[in-house]
Amino acid sequence: MPDSTSAMPGAIHNGGPWSDAATFVQRLSEKLNSFEWTGAESISSELIQRLDKSLEPFPLDPAKQILNMLRRKRQLRPMELVADALIRSGQSAPHIRRQYAQAMIDQGNLSSPVMLLTALASDNSVSLGERAEAKGLLGRIYKQLYINGGDPRNPRQQENLRKAVASYYEVYQSDPQCYLWHGINVVALIARAHRDNISPEIPEDEGEIAQRIVSEIARKADSDSITFWDRATLVEASVALKKFAEATEQLIYFVSDVNADAFETNSLYRQLTEVWQITSDSPQGASLLTILRAGQLRSPGGQVELRREDITGGLQAVFGRDKYEPFSWLQRAMKRCTGIARIEDLTGEKHGSGFLLDVSDFFDSAAADPLLLTNFHVINPNGAYPGIQPENAVAVFEAANGQYKVKKILWCSEIQKLDATLVSLEKIEPTSLSCPLKPTPEPFDPQSKPRVYVIGYPWGGPLSISLQDSEWLDQDDRVLHYRTPTDQGSSGSPVFDQKHWTVVGLHHKGKSDMPRLHGQTGTYEANEAISIAAIRQAIRESGIKPS
């Protein structure tokens, strides 16, 4: 596991040029917790400018809080830049230097932090805890270098693996009761070394260490002091001991913990897939990865890329915010994915997303061909930029492994109206599209402050669920506003309600200065969808036939 320490809010120093340090912490916390990434970057930039002009270093406690908040929301580039500015302005405490290294490592910069961490780890004036964390991060670097190398026969990569084991093991041996995350990394890497036919040069078996870790955490559990990081450690220990039922139980506790944020869920996912090499091919692996992906969906700051094997299998699991609850909502989400397409032109250039409609919800008669809804600015009669003409458009259903050519436009509404186009599809490759999406069966209730989810193909990449910030904001008769993040390529994606995974809107655009609805003054960061109810009403009023 990566560095598991967290800087908790503490006393803020008052007086001097940084008397407003608490204000920076509060403002940044508000932006990060509401997932206003642009606002968070703006506050970070403001702080960096102040740091470059200040004659005194920023107070340590709020500096720790700021870096920790940025890390937990995986705002890694601002974290790196703020840490760099803190150091050059004179705030060079070991914790700040270590977090600077952490930010670089998590962005894939694996060479630059080595000297910084080596100096920290060997500095006797630095606390034992900070030196242990620095050595752990050195282990993380060598571990990642080995994983990235992808060739266990390469002597240089073998040496990276041994360095990783040695870095973690030195810390774990110094205090096995304290440094459990170092110990579980030793377990994972010894197991990986054995699978890759490499001698880890450690005189212990991974099973022995794993059992000691389980026993140590069991003692903590008796005093109710077990943390979500302990649960993550128990997941790995149970995998090492081949106790997959226990691993599943501990993973459910982990993803159910409200304190497990994007950093924590992504870290465990990386460890299970990259180091333990767990895949969806086995029942045990499918169960673990499905639950962990669900945790990524539920945790603020999480985003999931979906692969076809994740959609077509391994969905029997339970998950709950308190402890256990039926997991049918995730099963419904995965099923919906088979009805969502990436819109390409005949050369393969990506233009947006679209989704199948349930014909019976929009028409009184049946349709001979599948019907797909997307934005007018994705497909339109004249191919007006940035869209394409229907005769040049192809719908690629990644989860259903099929392609359909757009046959013709049945109905459309220009951008300034409903920004929607309804097309019929003609099969290209033999496949069966079995999941047209249904509009919400009941009025969208804004009073319940629901979450809304977006599934599509951001940047034309893999099919992805966007739930980093799924807060609903406002709506009128035409549009819905929400904070669920999207990117280019998300245009035409379905927007789903939280309760039923039914469609409430057609994603349309996003702006950092979106005008508020209902005549309210001001703007906010928001995405906008066209109400599916408004689209359905317009289609019905047009009098068109489905084929």
Distance of CA 10 to the CA centre of its chain: 28
Report, as an integer, the average pLDDT of 158-179: 95
The domain defined by 342-427 folds into: Thrombin, subunit H (2.40.10)
pLDDT per residue as tens digits for the range 92-122: 999 999 999 999 999 999 999 999 999 999 9
pLDDT per residue as tens digits for the range 243-296: 988 898 888 888 877 777 777 888 899 999 999 999 877 777 877 887 787 666
Residue type present at position 487: D
Q: Which of 127-136, 280-289, 366-375 shows the lowest per-residue confidence on average (mean pLDDT)?
A: 280-289
Give the tokens for residue 423: 């097309």
First-to-final CA distance of the chain: 56
Report the pLDDT value the prediction gives residue 178, as an integer from 0 to 100.
92
Report the pLDDT value the prediction gives residue 321, as an integer from 0 to 100.
35
Quote the CA–CA distance of 466 and 457 in Å, as a whole number.
10
**In the block, which residue shows the tokens 């960061």?**
525
Q: How far from 441 is each of 333, 352, 504, 528, CA to CA, in Å?
A: 16, 26, 9, 21
pTM: 0.60
Using CB atoms within 10 A of its CB, is residue 54 exposed (0-12), middle (13-18) or buried (19+)? middle
Report the pLDDT value the prediction gives residue 525, as an integer from 0 to 100.
83
Q: Which residue ranges make up each domain of the chain? A: 342-427, 446-542
Give the tokens for residue 402: 């099929």
Percentage of the chain beyond pLDDT 70 is 84
Report the pLDDT value the prediction gives residue 14, as an integer from 0 to 100.
45
Report, as an integer, the average pLDDT of 450-471: 75
Quote the CA–CA distance of 252 and 257 in Å, as a whole number.
9
Q: How far from 44 is each of 8, 23, 47, 58, 81, CA to CA, in Å?
A: 19, 12, 5, 13, 8
Per-residue exposure over 374-406, b if at least 16 CB sit within 10 Å of its own CB, e if not: bbbbbbbeeeeeebbebebbbbbbbbbebbbbb
Report, as an integer, the average pLDDT of 358-387: 90
**Torsion sign (Cα): 37, 38, 40, 41:** positive
Q: Are 94 and 137 in contact (CB under 8 A)?
A: no
pLDDT at residue 489 is higher than 70: no
The DSSP 8-state label assigned to residue 253 in this structure reads: H
Average pLDDT, the chain: 84
Report the pLDDT value the prediction gives residue 467, as an integer from 0 to 100.
56
Domain 446-542: CATH superfamily is Trypsin-like serine proteases (2.40.10.10)
Q: Are 217 and 226 in contact (CB under 8 A)?
A: yes
Q: Which of 317-326, 394-403, 436-445, 501-510 shows the lowest per-residue confidence on average (mean pLDDT)?
A: 317-326
Report the pLDDT value the prediction gives residue 2, as an integer from 0 to 100.
45
Nearest-CA neighbor of 455 among 492, 508, 405, 509?
Answer: 492
Question: What does the angle CA 299 – CA 304 – CA 307 come to, to the nearest 5 degrees?
Answer: 150
Report the pLDDT value the prediction gives residue 273, as an integer from 0 to 100.
93
pLDDT per residue as tens digits for the range 13-24: 445 689 999 999
Quote the CA–CA distance of 409 and 390 in Å, as a whole number.
7
Report the pLDDT value the prediction gives residue 309, as an integer from 0 to 100.
44
